[in-house]
Amino acid sequence: MQVVEKSSEGLSRVIAVTIPQGDLSSRLDARIAEIAPTMKLKGFRPGKVPAAHVRKMFGRELMGEIINDEVNTSSQKALDDAKLRPAAPAEITPITDIEDVVAGKADLSYEMSLEVMPDFAPMDVTSLKLSRPVHEPADKEVADAVTELASQNTTYDDKGGKAPKAAEGDQVIIDFVGKIDDEVFEGGSANDTPLVIGSGRFIPGFEDQLKGAKVGDETQVKVTFPADYGAAHLAGKDAVFDVTVKAVKAPKEAKADDDFAKAIGIESLEKLNELVKQNLQSGNDRQSRFKLKRALLDALDKGHDFPLPPRMVEAEFDGIWSQVEADKAAGRLDEEDSKKSDKKLKDDYRKIAERRVRLGLVLAELGRAAGVTVSDQEVSNAIVAEARNYPGQERQVMDFYRQNPNATNALRAPIYEEKVCDWIFEQAKVTDKKVSRDELFKDDE
């Protein structure tokens, strides 16, 4: 194998590798000699297929496998021998015609274009002093959360009074039949349907026309389906619904007590309070870690200054910018960004891309030095967790990750980052600072 460094500019390298045709042919001969005794082909006794016939029948396919293997092994050896650590996988470009190589007419020559890891010394993380904001839910916070939970589980009782009329916030139980041009349409009919007036569940205008309705009323509700309605055959159409009102119910005042707790499957209000407090604390803990990690990343970013691999920065920026353009087209840019020119936006987001790449390299170097690894089991657990987000499609999701190493690596990366951060937190001086809930969740710039 011949290796020549063709260029070296900053962090960029171009390396040419040549594998003599004779070496490839020798490997092909050895491979044929290995498999010929085990082959069974029509017209030949088992194990007696001539090597020449094997070469004629399968030589091209076998040489293709040898070439792929040679590219993988020789490229890694070239990097190891030169003591180069790629910042990202190298781009492989054939120099010789692969068809000529497969046919045994040319050496295998290719170029590797890559960017190497910048040479820098990570900061001593034991010198870091970090503050972690913490907050324990107060009794009032727990009580307010339980009250809010109760209000979200509204129940309804028959509305009192003589011939009570439905009003905003009341629930009506109705039967209805929908028609377009006097023809009943599919999906437009139902019986014993509960509908809270003002909930916005039905077509615009439907609920308003039931205000003032009484039990036993039979009325017609006239509406127009929105132009962007999900069912294309109904979009923009005028419809008439024959509605029968079977009950009018008023909301029952929400009360957080033992009866409410039991109604949602909890043994008592005391137990409900305990569970709600645990849930609030869990949310507080996640926010505490988020802010501690952000403080750590700010410190690491500030503490390192070294050349960044241009391709990595460009790839990161392209990903960010494509999302910015999508948000811009959809009108989702925040108020501050919407006032900026494209040039200003690109400048700002390129700085973000540079920060991400810098921090990624620093965390990777710190993790490597600390011996941080991500086990296959941890990745498998992440894949299972991701699959659970798609009920009914779990098998397809898991197969997707098994067949797509890049997607699997995308799950591995955040696990690695969190583990490196955990290791740094153990080395650094981290002190807890009690804060209010508002301060904990304040969205700092």
pLDDT score, position 198: 93
Predicted pLDDT at 60: 87
Residue 159 near residue 250, CB atoms below 8 Å = yes
Q: Does an H or E element contain 21, and which?
A: helix 21-35
Using an 8 Å Cβ cutoff, are 367 and 423 in contact? yes
Which residues on adjacent β-strands are paired with residue 218?
Answer: 244
* Nearest in space to 357 (alpha carbons), one of 397, 401, 297: 297
Which residue in the block uniquely carries the two structure tokens 């949310």? Answer: 283
Strand partners, 221: 241
Between vectors from CA 348 to CA 87 and to CA 8, what angle results, nearest 5°? 30
Contact 134, 434 (CB under 8 A): yes
Q: What is the 8-class DSSP label of residue 86?
A: B
- Which residues of the chain carry a pLDDT beneath 50? none
Length of the chain: 445
One DSSP character per residue, 316-327 reads: HHHHHHHHHHHH
Angstrom distance (rounded) from CA 58 to CA 63: 9
pLDDT at 191: 96
Report the C-alpha gap between 130 and 302 in whole angstroms: 14
Q: Which of 262, 216, 4 is nearest to 110 (CA)?
A: 4
As a three-state string, the secondary structure of 344-367 is HHHHHHHHHHHHHHHHHHHHHHHH
Domains, in order of start, for the chain: 2-115 (3.30.70.1050), 156-252 (3.10.50.40), 284-440 (1.10.3120.10)
- Residue 7's φ and ψ, nearest 5 degrees, are -155, 150
The model's pTM: 0.70
Number of H helices, E strands in the chain: 13, 11
Maximum distance among all Cα pairs of the chain, rounded to whole angstroms: 102
DSSP 162: S
Helix (H/G/I), strand (E/B), else coil: 303:
coil
CA nearest neighbour of 248 among 187, 325, 163, 144: 163
Show the CA angle centred on residue 299, arms to residues 294 and 302, nearest 5°. Answer: 125
- CA 90, CA 113: separation in Å to the nearest integer? 6
The sign of the CA dihedral 246, 251, 256, 257 is negative
* Phi–psi pair at 184, nearest 5 degrees: -65, 130
pLDDT in tens, 402-428: 889 889 988 999 999 999 999 999 999
User: What are the phi and psi torsion angles at 381 (to 5°)?
Assistant: -60, -40
pLDDT at 52: 85
Q: What's the pLDDT at 45?
A: 78
- H or E segment and range at residue 80: helix 51-81
Question: On the CB side of 141, how many CA atoms lie within 13 Å of its CA?
Answer: 17
Q: How far is CA 212 from CA 168, 245, 248, in A?
A: 9, 11, 10
Confidence at residue 444, expressed as pLDDT on a 0 to 100 scale:
59
pLDDT digits (tens, 9 = 90+) for 256-281: 999 899 988 999 999 999 999 999 99
Which CB contacts under 8 angstroms, 24+ apart, belong to 324-329?
324/349
What pLDDT shows up at residue 160?
87
- Nearest 5°: phi and psi at 148? -65, -40
* pLDDT at res. 252: 85
Nearest C-alpha neighbor of 288 from the set 424, 139, 127, 435: 435
End-to-end CA distance of the chain: 54
